[in-house]
Chains A and B, each alone.
Chain A
Amino acid sequence: MLEPKKTKYRRHHRGNLKGMTKGGDYVAFGTFGLKAIEPGWITSRQIEACRISITRVVRKIGRMWIRIFPDKPITKKPAETRMGKGKGSPEYWVAVIKPGRILFEVEGVDRKGAEAAFHNASHKLPIKTKIVERREL
């Protein structure tokens, strides 16, 4: 699963999910892409599940790219622990996704193949998505 090799700080604030993506909003490498149309956090496990489902379709005939990286640690306090005594320990990693962000890209498959791959992948994500093509201009 994807996670940073080393970090400057072990724990992050929650941050916010306002606004739209600043970059990564167009298909840059492949022919088709999966675009987020809602904000949310995508965990490294969800990214991995999507990668496996896309690879099943694209394998041997095309290529795929993951355009997001989970670089935000999410902490959790152990069950039945009293409040206080500091912030919990990092449990998992998430990528902060804002609307418009391209999540995955594929190349070497036709529209039907890309739809099949991204349909399976979108079921593994906590946000609404849509399939987009590479822009002409």
Chain B
Amino acid sequence: MASYYKLDLEERKNLGTSAARSIRRNGGVLVNYYYTGEQNKNFSIDKKLLQKAIQSGNRVFELDINNETIYAMIKEAQYHPVTEQIMHIDLLRVRRDEKMKISIPLVLEGNSVGVIQGGILTQTLSNIDIQCFPTDVPESIIVDITDLDLNGSISAGDLKLDEDITLETLSDTTIVVCNEPKAESESIVDETADTDDEPTSQEDSSSDANNKETDSSEDKKES
């Protein structure tokens, strides 16, 4: 196998909420490793090391479990809702002779003909699901949009993939669209025009209401 980023995992002896909290307090991230037919194992990893591993762009990582070299992919990651820091990851073992399902980011490349003509490019799909061997996992899939005309679109079936890579996403799923700007810009202008008017009209109405209230209060005082 090609060289992969190695994750230094520490086995967890104490399980449960309080142990998990203490690991997180000390800058660790909880890891759950599993594979079909095997019992899952609980580990922890240093948060900084994990961040570096994720930023390396690799999708498959090397693990050393019980003096055995194992390859695994990050199946799922849980984040803190406010700080956005990783709290927990799931590692799924991958085997060299078994194809695995993985989600790969799409990268748009080139200047589309439609955009040059004044169209607006909208990317509707940012990741694509593929099936491939762990040795063939690409960092990203490049979508060439140079031939994308105005009112044209590129779907998942139009992507040029290697022979070993199978597409899991439905082939008619749209990835990127180039729309005419006219209708969209008009709608935005109309919306803003309406809304620009709205607050003023509401301010007027509210000010009228305030005037009425003050009038009525004055009447009450007089009476």
Contact = CB atoms under 8 A, between A and B. Distances in A.
- A and B, one complex? yes
Interface of A: 1, 20-21, 25-26, 35, 37, 45, 48-49, 51-52, 55-56, 59-61, 63, 78-80, 99-100, 107-108, 132, 134-137
A45 B206 CA distance: 13
B77 A100 contact: no
A78 B217 CA distance: 11
Q: Report the contact-size class of chain B (Cβ under 8 Å from the partner).
A: 20 to 34
Contacts of A136: 54, 105
20 contacts: A26-B79, A35-B82, A37-B82, A48-B195, A48-B199, A49-B199, A55-B188, A55-B191, A56-B192, A60-B185, A61-B120, A80-B217, A99-B81, A100-B82, A107-B123, A135-B77, A135-B84, A136-B54, A137-B54, A137-B74
Main secondary structure of the interface of B (DSSP, over half): helix
Prevailing SS type, chain A contact patch:
loop
Given A48-B199, A60-B120, A99 B82 contact: yes
A136 B56 CA distance: 12
A78 B213 contact: yes
A21 B120 CA distance: 34
B213 A79 contact: yes
Interface in B172-223: 181, 184-185, 188-189, 191-192, 195-196, 198-199, 202, 213, 217, 220
Interface in B123-170: 123, 126
Contacts of B80: 100
Contacts of B105: 136
